[in-house]
């Protein structure tokens, strides 16, 4: 009986636990700050352009939703570590030139795993298929040959990005997105 009650409670918590929205509000800015200066971790700025399927035409007003772990590798504090409602997330709409930018911290790998540190992306634009992928960072010791091979393919679930550190110690990364019809 206790087992049945426990299973019912677990299933109810799953049913009533909602996922954060994955599309930005219509008036979302193109440039945001996800973390405050008090957030532990190394500062990171990611910028890019969302392009149409030709890879040349910038898409204005595309929705860019990003989320990631904190410097300890968790999405939310506490025992649940809920990636459906991450603490560090942001919503943007690209500007007239298709540009977006966000300031945050470098995410960490999940604790006690060999999972690469990564930032999740969900990108939407009218007339295009939703694009879902993760950026991972060149030099991460958990990037293996399989991930490298996958990342080389158009539409991959992974994008391996180089990082450059400026004189103030802030990491910078560029991530353009090519949408498909």
Q: How confident is the model at residue 9 (pLDDT cuts 50, 70, 90)?
A: very low
Selection from 163, 179, 168, 70 nearest residue 121 by Cα: 179
Residues 49-74 pLDDT 10s: 999 999 999 999 999 999 999 999 99
Q: What is the pTM of this model?
A: 0.86
Two tokens at 178? 């090519």
pLDDT of residue 24: 82
Give the pLDDT confidence score for residue 154 in this predicted structure: 85
Rounded-to-integer distance, Cα 132 and Cα 111, Å: 23
Q: Hey, what CATH topology would domain 20-178 get?
A: Protocatechuate 3,4-Dioxygenase, subunit A (2.60.130)
CA distances from 63 to 11, 41, 74, 128, 154 (A): 32, 26, 25, 11, 20
**Tokens encoding 46:** 């990611």
> Is the model more confident about 15 or about 162?
162
pLDDT in tens, 91-114: 999 999 999 999 999 999 999 899
């Amino acid at each position: 009986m206790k087992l049945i009650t426990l299973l019912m409670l677990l299933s109810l918590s799953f049913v009533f636990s909602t996922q954060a929205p994955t599309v930005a509000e219509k008036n979302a800015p193109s440039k945001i700050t996800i973390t405050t200066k008090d957030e532990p971790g190394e500062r990171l700025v990611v910028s890019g352009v969302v392009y149409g399927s030709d890879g040349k035409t910038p898409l204005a007003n595309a929705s860019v939703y990003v989320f990631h772990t904190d410097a300890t590798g968790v999405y939310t504090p506490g025992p649940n570590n809920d990636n459906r409602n991450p603490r560090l997330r942001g919503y943007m709409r690209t500007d007239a030139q298709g540009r977006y930018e966000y300031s945050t911290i470098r995410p960490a790998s999940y604790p006690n795993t060999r999972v690469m540190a990564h930032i999740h992306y969900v990108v939407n634009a009218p007339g295009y298929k939703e694009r879902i992928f993760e950026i991972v960072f060149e030099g991460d010791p958990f990037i293996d040959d399989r991930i490298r091979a996958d990342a080389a393919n158009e539409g991959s679930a992974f994008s391996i990005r180089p990082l450059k550190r400026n004189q103030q110690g802030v990491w910078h990364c560029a991530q353009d997105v090519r949408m498909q019809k």
